[in-house]
Amino acid sequence: MSELLEEQTFGAVTVLYGAKHGKYPHGNSLVVRGRNETLVIDPSLGLVARAPLAPRADRVLHSHCHEDHVAGSFLYPDAPWLFHSADLHGIRSLDGLMQLYGYPEPIYSIWKKTVVSQFHYTPRPDALGFRDGDVFDLGGARVRVIHAPGHTRGHCLFHIEPDDLVYLADIDLSSFGPYYGDAWSDLDDFLRTLEAVRKLDARWYATFHHIGVLEGRASYLERLDRFTAVIADRERRLLDFLAAPHTLAEIAAHRFVYRPQDPVPFAEAVERRSMSQHVSQLLRAGQLREVEPGRFQRGSFQRRGA
């Protein structure tokens, strides 16, 4: 199968595409080769498909701790694994990973088995942490950490120099839009991240899913605007739905993140977590009111005599 998977090279960086150009559950992994050291970034199922010809690695760098980004990490048992310190909890034990998702039963037990059987999850209690601004000098190639939370608490981007390529990880610029549906996801953080990453200026922009590699800031900003606009579209559709009062359970069942026909086993949990954050934002902004405990409707309370 390895000969069927594409790859592209940008100086010291090689992008190893997963099946269907990295469409979930697959992803696009990066290899950065310096004079002294080689890094593999986000080993995906695509690296598993390439085994035993998967690239060697002195260290394995992860943008965050999610199942699809660690699916090929088990190929490197002797190399150090690195995560932002805020995501280390998820790789040190399987129970720790499940806390990041926060799914209720019966999805909890099903998903716990899936991350092991389908994504080869392997705990690494000795995984090492890094922080925003840390630089990995490989000898002639450098990888700089840019903390970009929201998707997870420790989600990061990597700026690879001197080839001027920014790896965007799960700011994947897809039509699906931002994902903030886990217990350790945060919509407010994601919005701040999206504002911050507009300032990124590079020659190349690479994503873990779907898009692959874009050239030039204009193409990047065009895709980023569309990606970001999905949040506002979900909010608009939620406000339309709440012309009549509904509970959070009814909001989740209506589906604003996934399409109603999508057979996603954890959809209800993701919808509930995602849309509860929108509800909280809209309540703070005075665009929703709680008409009775647990039931929300568009509009705001008015003072008497107003």
| pLDDT tens by residue, 137-152 | 999 999 999 999 999 9
* Predicted local distance difference test score (pLDDT) of residue 110: 97
- Ranges of each domain in the chain: 2-229, 242-298
User: Does 111 score more than 80 pLDDT?
Assistant: yes
Question: Is residue 216 very low, low, confident or very high in pLDDT (cuts 50, 70, 90)?
Answer: very high
| Mean pLDDT value of segment 194-214 | 97
Among 85-89, 200-204, 216-220, 262-266, the minimum mean pLDDT is found in 262-266
Q: Please check whether the two domains, 2-229 and 242-298, share a CATH topology.
A: no
Return all residues near 97 (Cβ < 8 A) that are at least 6 apart.
Answer: 65, 67, 90, 91, 115, 121
4-43: pLDDT as tens digits: 579 999 999 999 999 998 999 999 999 999 999 999 999 9
pLDDT at 302 over 70: no
What's residue 5's pLDDT? 79
DSSP type of residue 68 = G
Task: Note if the bond before 260 is cis, omega within 30 degrees.
Answer: no
Q: Is pLDDT above 80 for 113?
A: yes
**Mean pLDDT over all residues of the chain?**
95
Report whether pLDDT(127) > 90.
yes
The whole-number pLDDT of residue 63 equals 99
Chain centre distance of CA 18: 16
Q: Reply yes or no on whether the pLDDT at 163 is more than 90.
A: yes
Q: Give the pLDDT confidence score for residue 154 in this predicted structure.
A: 98
For residue 301, name the pLDDT band (cuts at 50, 70, 90).
low
Q: Domain 242-298: give its CATH code.
A: 1.10.10
**Residue 129 pLDDT more than 70?**
yes
Residue 142 has a CB neighbour count (10 Å cut-off) of 18
Asked whether the predicted pLDDT for residue 303 surpasses 50, the reply is no
For the four alpha carbons of 264, 270, 276 and 277, in that order, the dihedral sign comes to negative
pLDDT at 305: 43
- Cite the beta strand spans of 53-134 per DSSP E: 59-61, 81-84, 128-130
The pLDDT value recorded for residue 30 is: 98
The pLDDT of residue 306 is 39
Fold classification of 2-229 (topology level): Metallo-beta-lactamase; Chain A (3.60.15)
Which pLDDT score is estimated for 4? 59
Predicted confidence (pLDDT) at residue 300 exceeds the cutoff of 90: no
Q: What is the pLDDT of residues 167-182, one digit of tens each?
A: 999 999 999 999 999 9
Indicate the Cα dihedral angle 243, 300, 185, 177, nearest 10°.
50
pLDDT above 70 for 80: yes
State mean pLDDT over 40-53. Answer: 96
pLDDT at residue 24 in the model? 95
pLDDT category of residue 304 using cuts at 50, 70 and 90: very low
